[in-house]
Structure 1
């Protein structure tokens, strides 16, 4: 009953943490930023469907009631590299190779005179 009221009155993560301690919750853990794959499989699908500020639970597990709150969410967008960026990178690499080759030929063909 207390957890349901906590869920219904959810405002912010910090406020919920304080409220849970006032309700004499035994263990309130703030995990910080955690990758989704670090959670148990049964929670991964639920968490992936939630947005920031949404609550999962309360659930009963072995005499313990658990609630998970998604405070912040950063989806991995992956590396999106444009075709132009790849082209520019390849052009720069080719140019650097040509410059090194030219300098090597200059050193090889040069004549140094000491007086």
Structure 2
């Protein structure tokens, strides 16, 4: 019986003080990044192209840019490289959304690094 008890004690996880790393694991980093992009998407979801984009790129109005921006919003674009389309203004609007998400997520990511 004593052998079992002693063996069971050695099987218990023992924290090693001073040997751990303060660096986040890959899973923790992925979770923090996902949260930053979720928060950024929430923030940018109430914005329009005119709020975040370069309106000097618009010709008569910004309807093409607005369409690309709204399409990106509806399709969850987070990377400007994921944008395409036949119209340059549509693509620029889509890219503006992806860039806004990237900027917001980066700001949230930098906040998390201070913790």
Does the pair score TM above 0.5? no
The structure with the greater share of residues assigned to helix is 2
Normalising by the residue count of structure 1, what TM-score does the alignment of the two structures yield? Answer: 0.25
The structure with the greater share of residues assigned to strand is 1
Q: Tell me: higher relative CO, structure 1 or 2? Use CA pairs within 8 A at least 6 residues apart.
A: 2
